[in-house]
Amino acid sequence: MTLLTIENLSLEIQKKEILKSVNLKIKRGEIFGLLGESGCGKSMTAAAITKLLPMHSNLTGKIFLDNENLVKTSETNMGSIRGKKISMIFQEPMTALNPLQTIGKQISESLLLHHNITKRDAMEIVINGLNEVGLDPLIISPNRYPYQLSGGQRQRVMIAMACILKPKLIIADEPTTALDVKTQAEILCLLKDLVEKENISLLLITHDLGVIAKLAHKVAIMKNGKLIDTGETKTVFTRLSHGYTRKILSDSIPKIVAPPKISQNVLLNVISISKTYKRKFSALEGKNFNTPTLRNISFSIRKGECLGLVGESGCGKSTLARSILGLESLDSGEINLDGAILSFVDKPTRDIRSKIQIVFQDPFSSFNPRHQIHRIISEPFNLLKKKHNKELKSKLLKEIISAVELEENDLKKYPHQFSGGQRQRIALARAIIIRPKLIILDEALSALDVSLRNNILVLLQKLSLKFNLSYLFISHDIHLIKAITNRVLIMRDGTLIEIGKTRKILKNPSHPYTKSLINATPSIPKSWIKRLGGKS
């Protein structure tokens, strides 16, 4: 009952080895997870199976789909396999659909391409397909354009498109990574139900062990283009016969580093702030659309505390962060830092600003690519009243670069010479060089591979103790929040719906929204974690 067999598959792109002799088997109706960090070759495996490879690639080995070797088959023949026998779902729902075509037309395209049917018949099948993915055709008409749908709805359209011809194999490449937690849970459920119902095999490519644990019958773990470990999902993660498997499992569980004791002194006090984001005035568009982004928000951060802030994208988290930084003028309310008023309507003074710094999510856009690290890290000196002389500056630079566990000669390098994890260390160095009191970590760990997260978590804790720092830790990841924060705020549509001790809220959420958020978060089975603890 094997559907897909890959034997000794190797891939070179422009003389660079991408895949090294990969072997795997996928059975009919099976959900097969392919797990690995970014750049390990998982997406290229998918591209190899469909033979949609970049230019100058050299593919060797065998890929059997029902006894037909796809490596040897002609491009014309591949055209009749793609869409009909193998279809794909991609990560970015915003860009994977043609913005200028109706979704009905895009879904029906493969029908019309592979079957000799009329457009009217095709449209009927499309309407059925929309129904199956949970989009009511009476509400979401096939005549809609992608821009009229939300991210989750677009991903449903992608799934409808992939399933419309009842293929034998669906390859889903990080299908939920770009989505919010709750949408992710819904989409994963839908995928699971559909493939089970139609007996379709699913190759699920992901970096998220939680997703694998939830869905995959079998798993293969990939590293640097090689398969390290493979087998039944449960067996692989309880047997833990490979060091790398063990590492992935332990990395996927964030280390608890939340400070046990915190002082009672309040550092930051946010008192009922509100902010309405005004759209650019235009006589052209007639009226202004004003949507409130922050509604009457109050909370405080104590000295040495790590306060978590959880919410889905667009809930106002980033606006709140900017407001605290003094980069956003508020409609009403007050923010106090160490007793001094930080921002109301006027711009705050440099002195107050120097007490708050920020670390961003994307380690790639956080630095000017044309500046050397020493210039990047010393930028906050600009906030100081008294300018440091050269010697003091270089002394402080050396001190801070070793505090974030990097080398002194890294100061002369450029950002592109560093990996993502190192970049977040540089971002931290920039944030703490002028000894602020509060650091805002805006999804600072979200873009990192799991293997790097725990190290940064530990570093954050060290720095907090060494430099007396408090953190505002903004994240959508419940597991990370649990690991590092003492208290947590849950935010939705610009309002705070829950505040309290992290443990308490995660255990007994009072608000239904919090409850659904926690339930939607894919988590790793306790039994696996136990095995890990037992063996190490």
Partner 1 sequence: MNNSKFITNFTQLPPNLYIGLIIAGFVFAVGLISIIWTPHDITVLNIQEKLKPPGNKLYFFGTDHFGRDILSMLMIGAKTSLLVASCATFLGIILGVPLGLLAASRSEDLVDDIIMRGNDLIFAFPAIIIAILITAILGPSIENTIIAIGIFNIPVFARITRGAALPIFTLDFIMAARACGKNSFQICSEHVLPNIASILIVQTTIQISLGILAESGLSYVGLGTQPPMASWGRMLADSQTMISFAPHLALAPGIAIIVTVLSINILGDGLRDYLDPKLKKNLS
Partner 2 sequence: MLSYLRARLFTLIISVLLSSFTIFVLIEVVPGDPASFMLGINATEETVESLRKELGLDHNFLNRYLDWSIGMLSGDFGISYTYRVPVQELIMERLKVSLPLATLSLTLSIFIAFPVGMLAVQFQGKKIDHAIMVVSQIGIAIPNFWFAMILVLIFSINLQWFSAGGFYGWESGFLMGLKSLILPAIALALPQASILSRIIRSAILNTLMEDYIRTARSKGLSLRQVIPRHALRNALIPVLTILGLQFSFLLAGAIIIENVFFLPGLGRLIFQAITQRDLIVVESAVMLLVFSVIMVNFIVDLLYILVDPRLRK
Rounded Cα distance, 351 and 473, in Å:
23
425 touches 455 (CB < 8 A)? no
By a kind-dependent CB cut-off of 5 to 8 A, residue 95 interacts, out of partner 2, partner 1, none, with partner 2
Helix or strand holding residue 258 (H, E): none
Please, which residue, 379 or 405, has the CB nearer to partner 1? 379
Rounded Cα distance, 225 and 222, in Å:
6
Q: Which of residues 16-55 bind partner 2 (CB under 8 A)?
A: 50, 52
Please, which residue, 76 or 536, has the CB nearer to partner 2? 76
Strand, helix or coil for residue 171: strand
Closest CA to 452 of 421, 417, 415, 473: 421
By a kind-dependent CB cut-off of 5 to 8 A, residue 281 interacts, out of partner 2, partner 1, none, with partner 1
By CB under 8 A, residue 236 contacts partner 2: no
By a kind-dependent CB cut-off of 5 to 8 A, residue 536 interacts, out of partner 2, partner 1, none, with none
82 touches 144 (CB < 8 A)? no
Binding piece for partner 2, criterion CB under 8 A, among 80-88, 174-182, 209-217, 448-456: 80-88
* Minimum CB distance to partner 1, residue 116 (Å): 43
Please, which residue, 80 or 241, has the CB nearer to partner 2? 80
By CB under 8 A, residue 179 contacts partner 2: no
* Minimum CB distance to partner 1, residue 368 (Å): 5
* Minimum CB distance to partner 1, residue 21 (Å): 28
* Minimum CB distance to partner 2, residue 98 (Å): 4
Strands in 201-206's sheet, in edge-to-edge order, are: 86-89, 169-173, 201-206, 31-35, 218-223, 226-232
* Minimum CB distance to partner 2, residue 129 (Å): 13
364 touches 417 (CB < 8 A)? no
Query: E strands of 352-449, at which residues?
Result: 356-359, 438-442
Which residues are near partner 1 by CB under 8 A?
Answer: 280-282, 322, 325, 327, 350, 353-354, 356-358, 360-362, 365-370, 376, 379-380, 382-383, 416, 430
User: What mask, x for binding partner 2 by CB under 8 A, covers residues 81 to 120?
Assistant: xxxx--xx-x-x--xxxxxxxx---x--xx--xx------
Tell me which of 1, 139, 284, 345 binds partner 2, using CB under 8 A: 284
Please, which residue, 321 or 518, has the CB nearer to partner 1? 321
Tokens at residue 448, please? 């990192």
Helix or strand holding residue 9 (H, E): strand 2-13
By CB under 8 A, residue 285 contacts partner 2: yes
Tokens at residue 29, please? 């109706």
Q: How many helices (H) and strands (E) does the chain have?
A: 19, 20
By a kind-dependent CB cut-off of 5 to 8 A, residue 110 interacts, out of partner 2, partner 1, none, with partner 2
* Minimum CB distance to partner 1, residue 354 (Å): 8
Q: Which of residues 126-155 bind partner 2 (CB under 8 A)?
A: 145, 147-148
* Minimum CB distance to partner 1, residue 347 (Å): 10
**Residue that is written with structure tokens 């928000």 in the block:** 297
Rounded Cα distance, 175 and 180, in Å:
12
Beta bridge partners of 171: 88, 203
**Residues sharing a CB contact under 8 Å with residue 515, sequence separation 6 or more, in sequence order:** 509
Q: How far is CA 380 from CA 7, 9, 434, in A?
A: 55, 51, 7
* Residues lying near partner 2 in the complex (CB under 8 A): 50, 52, 75-76, 79-84, 87-88, 90, 92, 95-102, 106, 109-110, 113-114, 145, 147-148, 158, 161, 282-286
